[in-house]
Structure 1
Amino acid sequence: MKTKSNFLLLATAIGGILFSVIFWHERLALNQLIYSLFVLTITFLNGEVAKTNQFKIYALAHLFAAVMVVVNNSDLSLATYYVSFLLFVGFSHYQSIRSVWIAFMAVGLQIIAIPATAFRRLSDLQIGKFKVRPLLRPLKY
């Protein structure tokens, strides 16, 4: 169990670095396709996400939206990309959701809860005998 949370924490850190450093001051097109491929790969490697046919359809739809941003690069394709990304995240992590609006609300709640979850996972992180918890204690207050 500890390796899964460390894997997801490492994937989140690498994804943030990938998006922030490599694509800083770049136009939206190829970078969104690369980031979408990264997110899809990490989601497929995550053992906690069930790989149903519905999940694969949402993944392909999101990948198609990312390709359309590269090909067309219009405002409508960008909006479609972001909507498909939010729906992919909502439906992949909450497989019992049946409504698009509930998926949007689930992603919204997840975005709000990310800082607390990341802080908790970082405080539980242990690399060898080194614990990160004492370094985060001043941030607690």
Structure 2
Amino acid sequence: MKTKSNYLLLATLIGGILFNLIFWSERLALNLLIYSLFILTITFFNEEVIKTNKLKIYATAHLLAAFLVVINNSDLSLASYYISFVLFVGFSHYQSIRSVWVAFMATALQIIAIPATAFKRLSDLEIGNFKVKPLLRPLKYMILPIIIVFIFIGIYSGANEIFVDHLL
């Protein structure tokens, strides 16, 4: 099966890596504005996203929240930035949403579904006659135990101070 290149996933990965490399130990202000401009640009150049007036309003509100973070840099402006970002993602992926709470749930669904769809796309990938699926099969059986181990490390280190020194 031949898959088309997904420039959105590539742009998000490159944007996230550049964001971390450039602004690793900096305070959140101008870097959030730059990242918001990057995300909005990628969204508006995507042909799959329908550019409705509602999407433009949420994009403008998100950009305004990013400007407020630059101007104020308070906890309230950061919270409004992240809330507007979650709403923008929810309304951009699912245009028929009418409620803010459904947009939050749609974003949560997107966050959960992205690793699964990325793993599925990687398993369907073929480079010439080479298939990636046999390489990913053992990885599938290692991910869940690693997640469970990290959950138990968090539980034990939070429950007793003795485990903090031994586990971490």
Q: 1:58 to 1:72 in 2, by over 3 A?
A: same
Larger of the two Rg values belongs to structure: 2
Q: Residues 6 and 125 of structure 1 are in contact (CA less than 8 Å); yes or no, is this contact kept in structure 2? A: no
Q: Does 1:119 align with 2:119?
A: yes
Where does residue 8 of structure 1 map in the other structure? 8
Where does residue 140 of structure 1 map in the other structure? 140
Q: Deviations over 1:26-77 (max 9, x none)?
A: 1100110111011111111111110011111111110111011011111111
Sequence identity (%): 79
Q: Alpha carbon RMSD of aligned pairs, Å?
A: 2.0
Partner Cα distance (2:96, 2:26) in 1? 37
Q: Residues 65 and 80 of structure 1 are in contact (CA less than 8 Å); yes or no, is this contact kept in structure 2? A: yes
Q: Which runs of 5+ in 2 are unaligned?
A: 142-168
Q: 1:110 to 1:104 in 2, by over 3 A?
A: same
Partner Cα distance (1:61, 1:138) in 2? 44
Q: After the TM superposition, which residues 1-141 of structure 1 pair with which residues of structure 2 at under 5 Å, given as runs?
A: 2-3=3-4, 5-126=5-126, 132-141=132-141
Q: Which runs of 5+ in 1 are unaligned?
A: none
Q: How many residues align structurally?
A: 140
Instruction: Normalising by structure 2, report the TM-score.
Output: 0.75
- AA partner of residue 76 (structure 1): L
Q: 1:130 to 1:28 in 2, by over 3 A?
A: farther
**Secondary structure in structure 2 of the residue aligned to 1:37:** helix
Partner Cα distance (1:9, 1:123) in 2? 15
Partner Cα distance (1:22, 1:131) in 2? 35
Query: How much has 1:139 moved relative to structure 2?
Result: 1.2
Partner Cα distance (2:61, 2:129) in 1? 43
Q: 1:67 to 1:140 in 2, by over 3 A?
A: same
Query: How much has 1:136 moved relative to structure 2?
Result: 2.7
Query: How much has 1:10 moved relative to structure 2?
Result: 0.9
Instruction: Normalising by structure 1, report the TM-score.
Output: 0.88
Partner Cα distance (1:131, 1:62) in 2? 41
